[in-house]
Amino acid sequence: MSTVNQKPHTMLGKMEVPYRNYLGGLASEFYVKLRDEKKLAGAKCPKCGRVYMPPQSICATCFVKIEKLVDLSDKGTVVTFTEVNYKEPVQPVQPPFIYGIIKLDGADTGLLHFIGEAKPGSLKIGDRVQAVFAEKRSGNILDIKYFKPVKE
């Protein structure tokens, strides 16, 4: 039997690949502080003073190693956002929801996270938000359940 004129046969497959990712000392300290103390921290460059949130171990400006965290406020400002109205299997929440980049007070960079308790169409760039922590925390970024709008 000849297979020259047959279409290739394909099958959809899925494979789960469990893994552990070593985060390093700085990120480990960040996640432990978030989990155990409900505290947010940024990585401060010892040369230029730039504060990164989320923390990173090398300054993107100076290329200097960052080894210390500084405490940050749990409040910040919405830099930009988008409203999501479709479902994806990798999303930890159901639509509709809002993603935003939040610049925490004391940080020089923004953190991408969920914004909750905001009705679609009501959020504006420049709005103030505050972190709401998950009741059960496990040492990952979703220990911040979302940020909620606040009036100051």
Q: Is residue 70 in a domain?
A: yes
Q: Is residue 13 in a domain?
A: no
pLDDT of residue 13: 85
Q: What single-letter DSSP state applies at residue 117?
A: S
User: What residue numbers bound the domain in which 45 lies?
Assistant: 25-149
Q: Is residue 92 in a domain?
A: yes
The pTM score is: 0.83
pLDDT of residue 6: 78
Residue-wise burial string across 28-65, b where 16 or more C-beta atoms lie within 10 A, e elsewhere: ebbbebbbeeebbbbbbbeeeebbbbbbbeebeeeeee
pLDDT of residue 104: 98
pLDDT < 70 positions in the chain: 1-4
pLDDT of residue 3: 58
Q: Is residue 96 in a domain?
A: yes
* Total domains, the chain: 1
